[in-house]
Amino acid sequence: MAASKATASGTAASKPAAKSGASGTAVTKTTAPGKAASKTVASRTAAAKTTAPGGAASKTTAPGKAPTKTGAPGTAATKTTAPRTPPTKTPPTESHTALVRRARRIDRELAEIYPYAHPELDFENSFQLLVATVLSAQTTDLRVNQTTPALFAKYPTPEDLAVANPEEVEEILRPTGFFRAKTRSVIGLSKALSEEFGGEVPGRLEDLVKLPGVGRKTAFVVLGNYFGRPGITVDTHFQRLVHRWRWTAEKDPDKIEAAIGGLFPKADWTMLSHHVIFHGRRICHARKPACGACPIAPLCPAYGEGETDPEKAKKLLKYEKGGFPGQRLNPPQAYLDAGGIPAPPLGAG
């Protein structure tokens, strides 16, 4: 047999170097044939913590760098923290057919909760509805309803408002906010109605959107609620809720209108808008939705964004003209406890 210490041609001598490790265990540093010595350079690498089989762990910490946790020899196991995402009840791969079914089921539920859902603006004719809808931008329907009686008492027709003194109109509209811009819009649309349509509000979308201050949302309110022509009203409540329900990811109002229109029969569009807007004003609020008092919570992918405790949630319910939450068989106890009453039919009260 050869001696225990031998030097072969082309082979480097095995040179053990004892290094004191943890708990009295020595760590052996070996230079293998044909390989560079295993060496940690503090200035170039992050701290590595490696556990060798049967040996003590050697831990080197490089200045200014976070330690990297390494598992088995030769395998880097980097520990990362993935961002937390809220749980969802809707699979990300939901088919279009499944989405249509879920969306229509939500609308059926809302129809039971708000059977008398309607535009909450006071009006007696198409001109008043058109003007009131223009004034409702960036304010509440309640504020508009408090303002329009004085406006229509002084200017009952488009011809009257078309020749009104802007400063007098501004003073009446001041409580609605943005009163100067709104004054220009209502006087401008009144002039257009007088000069181009004989003082009558047109019943076509393409004519309505040409009027000053009138966009598709305003036009569909008038068409759907006065002329009986279906349309989807994409206001801030509608946008918020269809996003929470994951009916669409579109942000542009026109694209939202097209996407939601593809989920429902055209005949349902006007009432769908009322159902969604009623729900957004009373339960599914922007800042803190009352999830714990929401009757469609089992169908909502965004459940948990708001207050889930039933007792706390029912204190968030809001009451507006027309009652809340509407007549419904077996209404949730939270509604009854909060004083919910059936809504009167459209035009009553």
Please give the positions annotated as active site: 217, 235
Tokens 């994951």 identify what position?
Answer: 246
Where does the chain show beta strands of DSSP type E?
18-20, 26-28, 48-50, 58-60, 68-69
The token pair at 158 is 């488009």
Q: Are 186 and 131 in contact (CB under 8 A)?
A: yes
Q: Which residues pair with 60 in a beta bridge?
A: 48
SS3 string of 300-339?
A: CCCCCCCCCCHHHHHHHCCCCCCCEECCCCCCCHHHHHCC
- DSSP secondary-structure letter at 315? G
What is the three-class DSSP state of 138? coil
CB 317 within 8 A of CB 293: yes
Report d(CA 117, CA 274) in Å as an integer. Answer: 6
Name the amino acid, one letter, at 19: K
- The answer to whether the CB of 55 falls within 8 A of the CB of 73 is no
Report CA torsion sign: 116, 117, 119, 122. positive
* Best CA proximity match to 305, nearest among 244, 260, 257: 244
